[in-house]
Structure 1
């Protein structure tokens, strides 16, 4: 039987949740298209985990409405749970069981039947490059292997929406890139991914759309490029072969000249229209730069501008400089 996938995997309207006098969520609206990666960013305590718990039916909202894969989370939680998978920040893998046994256990929990359980387990071991380690206890796996096994276990029931809560925390750079590719492959197969992450680079590379949550409300939403354009500081950098060309370009374009680097920094967001105008002005002045690059604010700059402080990822990078 072919599953019907709604155009919007998640629709949230006016979602509210309070604990005592503290409003954790204060009227959140979201719409996440099916077959995309959506990333929710926000400082600690912003309400990210609360949203995930409500959408995955672990807790109830105080107000508003939420639909997940076409099902109302309040009135039809069973259908929601049947359509989703959740991979938390901390692995749910049983270290005493082998990789194959962990997957078979999940298959039995999903009541797949003996033949289908074996078939699904074999498929996932192959897909996540765990065949050689299938009979080894999961406790002997590396961090990256455990995360792959954890995600494979989430996929046993073939969910159409997956909540990934900081899926690459603690992984080395290579394992993190491997996980990114797995996420891209899942989306290519039509799965929707709801991603929370402390790594802004991760959201920048993976997410089709990003929402920033602060003090229980969505303070910005858009693509990474759209969010970056909201922050001043973007510029076009031109490098020239000699000082004369640099001086001529500075007279024609203005901007900030760096005589040592033979470079000129011209304010601008790097949009097509502004680039075309800049190049036309250079052509009129018969000036040809050696190099041209567009410099935009980092996503961490957006986070700082919207929430008043840097992300945990930005703080870590700053501390390591």
Structure 2
């Protein structure tokens, strides 16, 4: 039977396990893929603790497969699916978990993977699409200054590059250990930790035009004090109500194949490097998740699975 990395109840790492599960069957509007690679993200361990994305409702069925980003090859299509056929290389967001040898994707938010893009890099692009959505939501002109918190993680790496490709100046807040990474993206690095807001003021004496927050909590509240127009404060690191109390908003997701194709085009053109810095096999998914959960991963972590059809 195919293998999958799951959590058996809400809680910490002790709830995780590598198990065998029946191969899923695609329902209407779904495609079944043999997974070649799966992205590892903070939302994965947050969901294990009971976090729900905006709009999610209902209880999970356990064991629940971890993971959201997938690239793979189509094995089977469900009723009503057009534009995809067995053998197509694709990437998208998993319907019910991606740390697995087989996963289901919603056809409407799945895109063909270009030949010039590796399966490993393709598995990072669904979350990069969130970066794309947020940068375009802000609609900043070239020359504007964007404050980016959490700049050294997988989403932050994508935000910085997409913004820079549009001529936007990026001030990225990240740990001192991620300074070289942030600067390699063309951003101005500001060390996180106590006093970071004052360091941002020094780095951007002409002010901050917008904030893209990936951290939430106190960092989001301090960031809000740095921007005059709170309508240009967006977050993917805090609930909508928290952002709205500060005058900002959550990142608005398009969640369609058009955006996926756009970020794939950026990657192929060299304007977006996913910066995959760590890869693990499925059997070591726990180690991959710990690398992200500990906050020390530089860039993107990916599981390389490579199931044979």
| TM-score under structure 2 length normalisation | 0.25
Q: Higher helix proportion, which one? A: 1
| TM-score under structure 1 length normalisation | 0.24
